[in-house]
Structure 1
Amino acid sequence: MKWGKYMSDEKDMLLKVLLVDDEPFIRKGLAALIDWEAEGFVIAGEAQNGCEAVLRLSEEDYQLVISDIRMPDMSGIELVEEVKTRKISDAKFVLLSGFYDFQYAKSAILYGCSDYVLKPIQREELLNVLRRIQKKIREEAGGRRDKSIFEKAYLDRNLLALIWGKYDEINLRYAKEKLELKGRIKYIHLEISLLDERFLSLSEEKKRVLHRQLYNYAALLFKRLSNHVIFGVTKEGECYDIGIIYSELMPDKKNMTDEEWLDWILKELRERMGFEITAFLGGWVSKLEDIAYSYREAAMARSFCFYKIPKKDIKKEPAQGAGKKAIQNKNQQDEYLRKELDALIHGIETGDKEFIKENAGELYRKMMDKGLDSKLIGMNIQYYVYRLLGLAYEIENDINQEEVMQYIQEEVFSSGMPWINEVKFRKFAEDYSEYLLQLRQNSARGIMNLIEAEIEANYSDNLSLRSMGEKYYLNSVYLGQIFKKRYGCCFKDYINGVRLRKAAELLLRTEEKVYEIAEKVGYKNTEYFINKFESTYGVTPARFRKRNCEAEKISV
């Protein structure tokens, strides 16, 4: 049976039935007795004894179990008791018996069995039982579904905060409770490919329906790990994506390698969707707090390359001359873009603001031209980014390349897509040109004296690299680099050092309370101030004041 029947509205979803009987002909007879699908059910599995049934119920969700009472190893009553006691499944149970036994019936009811049917099974009796159970399941499912939808939406909000790097401890704690994480993790971006012309030709409404189906299919494939699937992570641009918080646990459950698991999920989704599905992978991180780094790498990969083109899309033998023409066109496109890129890079390097202003937008439009080969576009974006990184390195050999690359990632790929529009593309080119200019200006280091003086005078204000950079016309990344080189610490740590030094002076020279001093030197949170002070001076502010006062008395 195809999954499409599971993917419609819940009221039309077929309820999955597990048949349990040690006699194969009984199971076959039950399956043939009625039109199960017409009644809203589907025979989704069979087991020949209670032990096998427990295993199947632990691996897959069933809504109804129809089981014989008398079976070897584990009876039907024992099966119900085992499942309910260990909370293996919420499935309803119907027990079958060749004779009526009051004690059996009493035990069945005690353990939550929904019904007790005598053999030989009568068609009408079975239909009545199924309809009663179906009604009860639908009523219960309505409340559970509302609760489940709310809980998943809340989880997704917490996961998105982590993925976008804008999370707090509440987000992190809740996400960790709901995910099954083992070992390293990474972010995987899956989307319906925009290179699939059949998909592109559809209406926006139909695309959105298919987008939701992609999410639903993935959630079904993940089964009890469906919390790891997030709908619509990419914030801007035309993208029909889902995100996966991938754990090393996932391939282990299927006895696969990472590559085999990815091939499996793509194959399953492509077959069920009927469209090309593309995957982009971020790098491994050791903890959930760092998933934003993996997400950024996946976003870069989305721009730089494509995962795999299915063999069905590769023509075996092009018509005579067609292959040569295609290669020629691709080479022409490559040359066409590379010349334009080199010219823009030269303009950025020389600080030619007019050239950047006049040509950056036009180049963006050419790069986004749908007539160009998409893989070629990704390769040229990669060429552009790494050429810019190389320019900075040529100017200053001991530059922190990781910081520059992080700056490029944040400015370009933070939304999940590179340069959503030509305005952002041009602005990035202008900003980076200014950054290179500042690298060359040795006099820029002289500004550090002014910044140092300003920190001494205004240490209690909300100072930041960005605000200092704007005031002194320095790129914030470059300012951070020369600041660390000069003082041996980052900007934030330097300001904390100044504030704590000023606080120590106030503790010794005034009788102001600790919370007043904390506020005076720029700390809004007194507890945070006390912790920072203790980590620097080895004692709390109160103990610091008392110790120094006692030392003064002794010296007198």
Structure 2
Amino acid sequence: MLKVLLVDDEKFIVQGLSVLIEWESYGYEIAGMVYNGQEAVEFLEKNQVDLILADIKMPIMDGICLLKKIREENLSDAFFVILSGYGDFSYAQQAIKYKCTDYILKPIQKQQIFELLDQVKKMYSTREEQETEKQKMSRAYFVRYMQELLLGRAEPEALAYISEKVSFSENIRYIHMELETGEIRQEPQEIRNYQKAVYAAGRQYLGMEKECLVFMDIAGREEWYDIGFVYDERTARESGMNEEEYLQHFLDVVSKNIPVRVMAYAGDTVNSIEDISQSFRTAIMAKSFQKFNIEESILYYSEGRAEAGGGILSRNIIEELLKAVEENDSRKISEKSKLVYREMKKHNMDSDMIQMNMNYLLVNLAHLGMAQDESLNQNEIIQYIRENAFETNMARSSQQNFEKFMQEYGEYLSELRRNVSKGVLCNVEKEIKEHYQENITLKGLSQKYFINSAYLGQMFRKQYGISFKTYLNNYRIEKAAEYLLRTDDKIYLVAEKVGYHDLDYFINKFISVKGCTPTNYRKKSRGYL
């Protein structure tokens, strides 16, 4: 129901209007009846309404002064209609100046009121649509700029936009959450629905002012089902909890009734949103380099951790193994791998200390991979290590498995140093153009063309300047734009035609690429906007 405020110094007119119309049948209800402009101001300071019907001549404060005060002080965005016994054009001019919706002369005819109510309902509906559109656009821009910040590729305007929308304390960190599907056999769309449920619960938990700090798919890996948010120490303090209590409570709330495990990985604390990419990077590291099958649901990463405790392997031993791997010297890799295991046994390390050493070693292996070419994508290298070193939980596996991984990583580095055949990239581009509407993945293409997926992803980014997934998304959106221009198909049908089965996800991607929603894109192309 739309709420109406009646304002007139003649009580019989106010009371007459309240009974003259069957307000509820038109979708309205009388929220209040007051008898001068000042009373209306006091009412609006405590109540929200959608439509104000006000007389122009009243004691204390007249209708024009009331309208002016409402607009200048943003007391209400309600539609405002002047009811007047004066046909003087100067009154109408002033009313128009302050965005008066209509100007009706007394005596009021019922048909005029009926037409007015229909008109206001249509205007209200249009306003709501525009506001929804504006919120979607604002959200899409915020997410896009935040993603640029998290990935360390932000321009100054991205930082300015984020800083204008949200203020942060000097202790913030990125929390990467992920649905651990494990061996659970469920359809991707079902897992996707769980992800959306966690995302919605996270936004609700943070409330209207902070809900923009929760994201989906920010890491850009379709198999991860990730949700992330920027944690601010101030938020926890305002909730009367310390950081550990707050994060655990947040995780408990968002994962309630979700039939799969939700893990959280906390990146390092940074002092400014400008440095949030460092926290994001370490959150992904925490995910990539933590041992599996652990009881904790929140894992923290700290770059200084590997050197903070006792029982750490000699730096020389680590460096010798890394050098052997970089040179792809099979004999030395075998020799230095055995030495690592002898040293761990010599120090009688427990499982936690072994894991700490393995994490430290793997972080350095990741850096070694990136050193081969500055254009290489860190996340792809981390993913390669994660898939090959952690699927069998390397820290708990045998010396032979450890050595096998080191030998394979030496081969991987050699492959990074070789140029990939341009023919493979041409084939991949052709696959996208011919099968963009299907569920094509980098992993599937790498298997088809017998090339390592991490390496193919890195070479694709180097060749095209963007990731495979971004390229595929952009191509799909361009095809969607063609359908919007050439057909009258519903938006959800267009989304399905180009490979999207989640309408909200499609709309967000379309806004990100085209700067407007699919509906507005079609309207603009046809001259409706």
**TM range, normalised to the smaller chain?**
0.3 to 0.5
Select the structure that is richer in helix.
1
TM-score normalised over the length of structure 2: 0.43
TM-score normalised by the chain length of structure 1: 0.41
Structure of greater Rg = 1
